[in-house]
Amino acid sequence: GSEMCIRDRADGAATYKQACFACHDTGAANSPKIGDKAAWGPRIAQGKDALYAAAINGKNTMPPKGGRADLSDDAVKAAVDYIVAQSK
């Protein structure tokens, strides 16, 4: 139900603020900034699975899980969902 979605979004936001914001708030290391629809559009178009894989495994200058190996895959996916929701 909707409760699940809200909790997942909250967890995603918390994970984003722990692990992702340092680059994705500022565009450091050529990362696409959160909320930048032009940067995220083509990435979002590749589908959630591609975004999840990039976030979990690392891509270009982003280390796996944003350098937070302690995060679960589900936590990383929730953060991806949060970024996508903010960037559509």
Q: Which residue has the tokens 């629809």?
A: 37
Query: Could you tell me the two tokens for 33?
Result: 């900034």
Distance, CA of 88 to CA of 84 (rounded, Å):
6
Q: Tell me what the mean pLDDT of segment 66-77 comes to.
A: 95
> What pLDDT is stored for residue 1 in this prediction?
44
Q: Where do we find the tokens 């590749």?
A: 46
Contacts of 58 (CB under 8 A, 6+ apart): 64, 65
Is 71 in contact with 78 (CB distance < 8 Å)? no
- Condensed to tens digits (0 to 9), the pLDDT of residues 15-37 reads 999 999 999 999 999 999 999 99
Q: What is the pTM of this model?
A: 0.89
Q: What is the pLDDT of residue 10?
A: 72
